Structure 1
Amino acid sequence: MRRFMLAAACSTFLASTAYAENIGVTIARADSAFLTIVRNGLEDRAKTKEGVTLQVEDAQNDTSRQLDQVQNFISSGVDAIIVIAVDGDGTPAITKMASNANIPVVYVTHPPADAKTLPETAAFVGSDEKDSGTMETKEVCRLLGGKGNVYVLMGPLNNESSLIRTKDIEEVMATDECKGMSIIDKQSANWDRLEATNIMTNWLSTGTQFDAVIANNDEMAIGAIQAMKSGGTDLSKVVVGGIDATQDGLAAMAAGDLEVTVFQNAIAQGAGAVDAAVALSRKEKVERNIWIPFELVTPDTMKKYTDVNR
């Protein structure tokens, strides 16, 4: 009887702890408005899964710090790692470290540079950046009637999403419908509102005539808007585009300052990353790329998105 009770107790213990996962999460920068929403999606989904805990670290936009955080996760024996990468350059090393330790790694939002060669123990959850800048620029082109001078605000020059979004802009402007548009200048504001404000202020100081500002994200678009307001620019004569459809971005659209943005479902990305990490930690197969579609947002459709990314 004593042996039976001991066996039963052990069986109950194993059943209750079989799916207790500790997931390490390293976020590129915790002060990012958009990545804060992704983090909310991660944490909200983890709360719905019994036994799943997240250990969240801020990489402070430092690739070396992020690599150290991943190594610490591996040393502490986490069951899976979720990475919002600082830049693509560091992702092959992260993938190799995690793979060598037989720990699943899930990239979210920022695509890894090694996306096409990820092992079976890795995945990417995000939105296809080929659509984001393309949707944004096509709408700006439509509003401009296919012609005009444009300033472009880019994200970090070593960030895969930024590179693709900028390439999207250039490819759309090379089409027959939009070939009347030309880029005056393009600079990196590193996804940051203040940096974008400073760059836009410098552009305004040149006195160059322009018709639109196309930004790789809403934060930089808002920074440009603030600079133009301070400089006395008539915003009714300038088309401004962004990406992400953040709450601040939608507020700028409601005020009539932002004409176009592209909804990137940060909550769904975060939730999908947790789902993938848990599945991989349980030796279940998942798709290498889990796509969360982008959606064009204009003043006519913005109400649909007001309470989504919170």
Structure 2
Amino acid sequence: MRKGMRRFILVVSTIYMYSSLISCNDRKVEEEEVRDIKIGISIYEQDDIFISSIISNIENITKEKRNEGSYNITLNVEDAKSNQYNQNEQVDMFIDQGYDVMCINLVDRRSAANIINKAKNANIPVIFFNREPVEEDMNMWNKVYYVGAQAEQSGMMQGDIVIEKYKNDQSSVDKNGDGKIQYVMLEGEQGHQDASIRTEYSVKRLVDSGIKVEKLGSEVANWSRTEASEKVTRWIEKYNDKVELIISNNDDMALGAIDVLNKSKIKNNMPLIVGVDGINDALKAIENGQMTGTVISDAYKQGKAIFDTALRVSSGNILNNDNGIDERYIRIPHVIVTKENVGEYIK
């Protein structure tokens, strides 16, 4: 009996030790599965409302991912204050401090090659967003990525908003009845690819639809509400109510136009105004009838795409051109918003 009892105790002890070993190993595996990731982000200007919205979404998504327990994420967002030298210094800092991935909203597209060379030498993947490097620069290395909207689509959709309005009530657009639309263009920034493409394709869409247009003026307002107000003030002084359409490369400049028009003598005969981004103030302006429409460039989807890509490439994954789809380019589609559907998007 004692012999049997000793055998039983030995078996139980062995099972207990084995279970403890498994438990320890499980805990060790769990601990090893928590990955440390350092993501460095440099933006061209934190005062840009749309860029700030993208960053806010990235920060929220990062918190959610941290709470899941699988990742210990360091997120460092730096503001270049519209100065390329500052951005270059920030890139150097990310490299010196051993960041796993860099996300860059370029101050100057011409500096992309320099940043890519630095990233390549340090073997740190780089994700550009909102400001797209030229194809030649994108092809310098297989760990270079771009997240952004489809600029052609946004311009065409701006045109579509005007076309729909023109079809439904021509006299509300062609107010002087001369058979063509007199327009002015608020451009975002000299040399910015999205600004150039939106400018081109918004007007091209109108012309291709058979609508005759006449350009009264075009000014660069650097995405700024204040600068746009200054440009529109001069146009109204010069053309008065001859301006029938204001096309703006973004919503903030469109709001600058509205600021001026609301104080002008033509406030009861407002031109059509279309923008891009879908910021909340613009949606409110659409709701109250001061703005004709906008094209939503989804800040949440862009932020999520940037974060998800950063997570993937920081793990050593390389996104390549497979099955005719270049995974290095992540394009976020747009949505048209007018008074008819603004309630679905306004906060």
Measure how far apart 1:191 and its partner are: 0.4
Q: Which moved more, 1:121-130 or 1:192-201?
A: 121-130
Q: Which residue of 2 is the match for residue 181 of structure 1?
A: 213
Measure how far apart 1:154 and its partner are: 0.4
Q: Which residue of 2 is the match for residue 289 of structure 1?
A: 329
Q: Which residue of 2 is the match for residue 261 of structure 1?
A: 294
Specify the SS of the correspondent of 1:51.
Answer: strand
Q: In the alignment, does 2:239 pair up with 1:207?
A: yes
Q: Summarize the alignment of residues 1-310 of structure 1 with structure 2, pairs less than 5 Å apart.
A: 15-17=32-34, 19-49=35-65, 50-114=71-135, 116-117=138-139, 119-144=141-166, 145=170, 147-178=180-211, 180-208=212-240, 209-234=242-267, 236-286=269-319, 287-307=327-347
Unpaired segments ≥5 residues, structure 1:
none
- Provide runs of 4+ in structure 1 moved above 3 Å: 7-14, 234-237
- Partners in 2 of 1:87 and 1:236 — Cα distance? 39
- Partners in 2 of 1:261 and 1:13 — Cα distance? 47
CA contact (8 A) 1:141 1:147 kept: no
Q: Rg bigger for which structure?
A: 2
Specify the SS of the correspondent of 1:150.
Answer: strand
Matched residue type, 1:280: V
Percentage of identical aligned residues: 28
Matched residue type, 1:75: D
CA contact (8 A) 2:261 2:270 kept: no
CA contact (8 A) 1:235 1:257 kept: no
Matched residue type, 1:187: E
Deviations 1:248-280 (A, max 9, x none): 110111121110100111011111101101110
Structure 2 vs 1, CA of residues 52 and 174 (structure 1 numbering), >3 Å: closer, same or farther? same
Matched residue type, 1:206: K
Specify the SS of the correspondent of 2:330.
Answer: strand
Measure how far apart 1:143 and its partner are: 2.2
Q: Which residue of 1 is the match for residue 174 of structure 2?
A: none
Deviations 1:17-75 (A, max 9, x none): 5x210110001111111111101111111112221221110011112211221121111
- Partners in 2 of 1:119 and 1:302 — Cα distance? 42
Unpaired segments ≥5 residues, structure 2:
1-16, 66-70, 171-178, 320-326
Q: Which residue of 1 is the match for residue 323 of structure 2?
A: none
Specify the SS of the correspondent of 1:242.
Answer: strand
CA contact (8 A) 2:138 2:144 kept: no
Measure how far apart 1:12 and its partner are: 5.1
- Partners in 2 of 1:9 and 1:31 — Cα distance? 47
TM-score, normalized by length of structure 2? Answer: 0.81
Specify the SS of the correspondent of 1:207.
Answer: helix
Q: Which residue of 1 is the match for residue 324 of structure 2?
A: none
CA contact (8 A) 1:225 1:257 kept: yes
Measure how far apart 1:285 and its partner are: 3.1
Matched residue type, 1:47: K
Q: RCO (CA 8 Å, sep 6+): is it higher in 1 or 2?
A: 1
Measure how far apart 1:232 and its partner are: 2.2
- Partners in 2 of 1:67 and 1:92 — Cα distance? 12
CA contact (8 A) 2:157 2:202 kept: no
Matched residue type, 1:22: K
CA contact (8 A) 2:127 2:145 kept: yes
